């Protein structure tokens, strides 16, 4: 080839590449930069999201499916959206996994690894089986399987595997696990205001075993999205209890929908709670932690039980002021059972340690400093943060109220307060919305939890563009609330009312955005 032709040819290639790059840049929307778009909480690329579904770990990947309406930003025809991650934090968005069919929409459910091909779908190998509700004429349970690590799904041609029960209108959200003790699959299914348990040798033939819930715990609305799992108590694997988490559609502690749990024993057939029937354990005291599910098949070497919940509330979920997308998830939380000072066993929650990899700049740090009201007011002066983590341990040398205001505007009409009220012995989150953002009468509010007496208050606060997740007393209590501050409301303030406290430690780190990988994924995603 002549030199002239080589130059011309190279020029054409360069031009074609440039056109391709420009085309890609134009078609890849900046869907991570819109107002209120969470930066380290999972949200869909566009349109509606509610419950997490089918959470499973398989072959080095975490799968998160979710209730999704691909055609709009309100709840509607339900599909399973899908994303994959290696660390539960940075997610790669995948095409829709399951679409509605003649049996109805695809409602919530779970996914398991069928290691021993009990289903016969995998020619003696292994693969993923999803078990979900179909909402059409009545609610029934169906299954689908994937032979390619969740990339594509085949619906079982004998669906449904549990038919409609004409007596039970709300009959949904199957969560399945392999019960080692009795070597069979066990399903928890929400049914009215109860949970029904089924078993199966093969994920196809299901047999009703027992039910739990008549008159137990909170009964303010229908029960949804149960999850049953075993955990060691105080880290002792010879001393375990079973946790049955179940959500209620209405009447929860912060109003509207919310999550409760029961602690008890499960022998493969029946769940018995150790709590008195009128006792209620709330999983979260905020308004926006719903339909939580835990990952299936996390390897024993890891051993964690990790839950993700939908960060919203049916009272106003369809109205929150985002447009391109609507709905996001909590951070993944690792769960443990611990005996507390009053002798009761409780579920503690901690954001997974993988999140610390997102810590960015240290914005502030003090240790062992006594501050009074006036010093407190100046402490965080000049610090600005909108996406950050704050860790604090505050010692109460005298009865005093204190707290931290975040996402504060200069004129202070925007602010979210995370505080301790000494007279009520409670920790609270008080969120406000500026008037132009008034989208629901149910949104503003103060969400509080009474705590066991303590002279030391421990706080971990995760703030994103539209949420605060607060972990109190080393994870004994959690308060999760959406917030919708103006973008430039980035002030912080520490306050102490009439007295002084010792700040044993207080540190603030900004958090990096997980969207940084998005352009990379767009071109090279697996
Ligand atoms: C919980 C829930 C589930 C149902 C799904 C429908 O938020 O109501 O019970 O399967 O949402 O989207």
Q: What pLDDT sits at residue 29? A: 57
Give the whole-angstrom CA distance, residue 163 versus residue 185: 18
Rounded mean pLDDT of 469-494? 96
Query: How many angstroms is it from 184 CA to the middle of ligand 1?
Result: 26
Measured from the CA of 51, which atom of ligand 1 is nearest?
A: 7
Rounded to 5 degrees, what are φ and ψ at 323? Answer: -115, -55
Q: Please work out whether the CB of residue 108 comes within 6 Å of at least one atom of ligand 1.
A: yes
Comparing C-alpha atoms, which of 185, 177, 186, 98 is closest to residue 135?
98
Which residue's CA is the nearest one to ligand 1's atom 6? 107
Is the confidence at residue 485, as pLDDT, over 50?
Answer: yes
User: For the segment 119-173, what is each residue's pLDDT rounded down to a tens digit?
Assistant: 999 999 999 999 999 999 999 999 999 999 999 999 999 999 999 999 999 999 9
Give the whole-angstrom CA distance, residue 441 versus residue 492: 26
Is the confidence at residue 518, as pLDDT, over 70?
Answer: no
Comparing C-alpha atoms, which of 485, 481, 443, 416 is closest to residue 318?
443
User: For the segment 4-53, what is each residue's pLDDT rounded down to a tens digit?
Assistant: 777 788 888 888 777 766 665 555 556 688 999 999 999 999 999 999 99
User: For the segment 219-231, what is each residue's pLDDT rounded down to a tens digit?
Assistant: 999 999 999 999 9
H helical segments located in 73-115: none
480 CB contacts (<8 Å, ≥6 apart)? 284, 286, 287, 288, 289, 309, 311, 330, 467, 468, 469, 470
* Range scoring the smallest mean pLDDT among 48-52, 211-215, 410-414, 447-451: 410-414
User: By three-state DSSP, how is residue 45 classified?
Assistant: coil
Is the confidence at residue 389, as pLDDT, over 60?
Answer: yes
The secondary structure of residue 275, as a DSSP letter, is S
DSSP string, 177-228: EEETTTTEEEEEEEETTEEEEEEESSSSS-EEEEEE-TT-S--SS-EEEEEE
Q: What pLDDT sits at residue 381? A: 94
Query: How many angstroms is it from 495 CA to the middle of ligand 1?
Result: 40
DSSP string, 35-83: TT--SSS---SSEEEEEEEEEEEETTEEEEEEEEETT-SSS-S-EEEEE
Q: What pLDDT sits at residue 23? A: 60
Give the whole-angstrom CA distance, residue 102 versus residue 166: 18
Comparing C-alpha atoms, which of 200, 164, 342, 317 is closest to residue 250?
317
Is the confidence at residue 519, as pLDDT, over 70?
Answer: no
Is the confidence at residue 297, as pLDDT, over 80?
Answer: yes
Confidence category of residue 526, pLDDT binned at 50, 70, 90:
very low
Spatial contact of 194 and 248, defined as CB atoms under 8 Å apart: no
Is the confidence at residue 427, as pLDDT, over 70?
Answer: yes
SS (H, E, C) 484-511: CCCCCCCEEEEEEECCEEEEEEEEEEEE
67 CB contacts (<8 Å, ≥6 apart)? 49, 50, 51, 53, 78, 80, 81, 107, 108, 310
Q: What pLDDT sits at residue 516? A: 66
* Range scoring the smallest mean pLDDT among 18-32, 336-350, 481-495: 18-32
Which residue's CA is the nearest one to ligand 1's atom 8? 224
Spatial contact of 248 and 224, defined as CB atoms under 8 Å apart: yes
Spatial contact of 265 and 243, defined as CB atoms under 8 Å apart: no
Rounded mean pLDDT of 330-356? 96
Q: Please work out whether the CB of residue 133 comes within 6 Å of at least one atom of ligand 1.
A: yes
Q: Please work out whether the CB of residue 291 comes within 6 Å of at least one atom of ligand 1.
A: yes
Q: What pLDDT sits at residue 15? A: 84
Note if the bond before 509 is cis, omega within 30 degrees: no
Torsion sign, CA atoms 214, 217, 219, 225 = negative
Query: How many angstroms is it from 206 CA to the middle of ligand 1?
Result: 22
Spatial contact of 409 and 435, defined as CB atoms under 8 Å apart: no
Spatial contact of 195 and 180, defined as CB atoms under 8 Å apart: no
183 CB contacts (<8 Å, ≥6 apart)? none
Q: To the nearest whole percent, how much of the chain has pLDDT over 70?
A: 94
**Alpha carbon distances (Å) from 301 to 297, 298, 304:** 11, 8, 9
* Range scoring the smallest mean pLDDT among 54-63, 137-146, 412-421: 412-421
Give the whole-angstrom CA distance, residue 357 versus residue 379: 27
Element (H, E) at 297: none
Q: What pLDDT sits at residue 515? A: 87
User: For the segment 363-376, what is each residue's pLDDT rounded down to a tens digit?
Assistant: 999 999 999 999 99
Q: What pLDDT sits at residue 524? A: 46
Give the whole-angstrom CA distance, residue 331 versus residue 9: 51
Q: Please work out whether the CB of residue 78 comes within 6 Å of at least one atom of ligand 1.
A: yes
Q: What pLDDT sits at residue 453? A: 85
The Cβ of residue 319 has, within 10 Å, a number of other Cβ atoms equal to: 12
Q: Strand 47-58 and strand 325-326: pairing?
A: parallel
Rg of the chain taking only CA atoms, in angstroms = 24
Catalytic residue among 51, 114, 199, 284: 51
Mean pLDDT of the chain: 93
For residue 524, give both structure tokens. Answer: 């090279």
Q: Please work out whether the CB of residue 172 comes within 6 Å of at least one atom of ligand 1.
A: yes
Which residue reads 């502030």 in tokens?
364
Give the whole-angstrom CA distance, residue 440 versus residue 438: 6
Q: Please work out whether the CB of residue 51 comes within 6 Å of at least one atom of ligand 1.
A: yes
- 278 among known catalytic residues: no
Which residue's CA is the nearest one to ligand 1's atom 9? 224
- Mutate which of 53, 54, 67 for ligand 1? The one with the most ligand atoms within 8 Å of its CB, which is 67
Q: Please work out whether the CB of residue 80 comes within 6 Å of at least one atom of ligand 1.
A: no
Which residues are registered as beta bridge partners of 236? Answer: 233
User: For the segment 166-197, what is each residue's pLDDT rounded down to a tens digit?
Assistant: 999 999 999 999 999 999 999 999 999 999 99
Comparing C-alpha atoms, which of 352, 275, 369, 309 is closest to residue 64?
309
Query: How many angstroms is it from 51 CA to the middle of ligand 1?
Result: 7
Rounded to 5 degrees, what are φ and ψ at 494? Answer: -100, 135
Query: How many angstroms is it from 173 CA to the middle of ligand 1?
Result: 7
The Cβ of residue 189 has, within 10 Å, a number of other Cβ atoms equal to: 28
């Amino acid at each position: 080839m002549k030199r002239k032709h080589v130059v011309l040819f190279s020029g054409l290639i360069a031009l074609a590449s440039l056109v391709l790059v420009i085309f890609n840049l134009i078609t890849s929307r900046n869907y991570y930069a819109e107002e209120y778009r969470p930066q380290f909480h999972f949200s869909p690329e566009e349109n509606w999201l509610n419950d997490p579904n089918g959470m499973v770990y398989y072959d080095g990947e975490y799968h998160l499916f979710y209730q999704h309406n691909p055609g709009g930003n309100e709840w509607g025809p339900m599909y399973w959206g899908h994303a994959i991650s290696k660390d539960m934090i940075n997610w790669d968005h995948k095409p829709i996994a399951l679409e509605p069919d003649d049996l109805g929409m695809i409602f919530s459910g779970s996914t398991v690894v069928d290691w021993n091909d009990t289903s016969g779908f995998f020619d003696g190998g292994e693969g993923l089986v999803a078990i979900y509700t179909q909402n059409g004429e009545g609610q029934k349970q169906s299954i689908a399987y994937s032979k390619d690590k969740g990339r594509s799904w085949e619906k079982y041609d004998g669906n449904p595997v549990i038919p409609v029960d004409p007596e039970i209108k709300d009959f949904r959200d199957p969560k399945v696990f392999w019960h080692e003790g009795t070597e069979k699959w066990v399903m928890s299914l929400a049914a009215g205001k109860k949970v029904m348990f089924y078993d199966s040798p093969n994920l196809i033939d299901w047999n009703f075993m027992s039910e739990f819930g008549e008159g137990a715990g909170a009964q303010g609305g229908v029960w949804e999205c149960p999850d049953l799992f075993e955990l060691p108590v105080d880290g002792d694997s010879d001393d375990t209890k079973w946790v049955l988490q179940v959500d209620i559609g209405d009447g929860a502690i912060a109003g509207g929908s919310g999550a409760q749990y029961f602690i008890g024993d499960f022998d493969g057939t029946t769940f018995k709670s150790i709590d008195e029937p009128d006792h209620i354990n709330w999983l979260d005291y905020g308004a926006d932690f719903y339909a939580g599910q835990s990952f299936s098949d996390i390897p024993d070497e890891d051993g964690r039980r990790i839950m993700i919940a939908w960060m919203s509330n049916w009272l106003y979920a369809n109205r929150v002021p985002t447009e391109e997308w609507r709905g996001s998830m909590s951070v993944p939380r690792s769960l443990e059972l611990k005996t507390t000072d009053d002798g009761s066993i409780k579920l503690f929650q901690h954001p997974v340690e993988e999140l610390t990899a997102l810590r960015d700049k240290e914005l502030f740090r003090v240790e062992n400093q006594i501050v009074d009201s006036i010093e407190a007011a100046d402490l965080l002066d000049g610090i600005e943060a909108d996406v950050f983590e704050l860790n604090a341990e505050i010692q109460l040398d005298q009865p005093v109220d204190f707290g931290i205001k975040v996402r504060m505007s200069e004129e202070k009409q925007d602010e979210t307060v995370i505080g301790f009220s000494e007279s009520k012995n409670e920790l609270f989150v008080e969120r406000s919305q500026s008037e132009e953002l008034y989208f629901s009468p149910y949104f503003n509010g103060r969400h509080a939890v009474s705590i066991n007496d303590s002279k030391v208050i421990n706080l971990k606060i995760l703030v994103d563009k539209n949420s605060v997740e607060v972990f109190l007393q080393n994870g004994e209590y959690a308060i999760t609330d959406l917030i919708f501050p103006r973008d430039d409301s980035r002030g912080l303030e520490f306050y102490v009312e009439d007295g002084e406290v010792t700040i044993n430690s207080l540190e603030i780190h900004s958090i990096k955005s997980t969207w940084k990988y998005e352009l990379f994924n767009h071109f090279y995603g697996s």
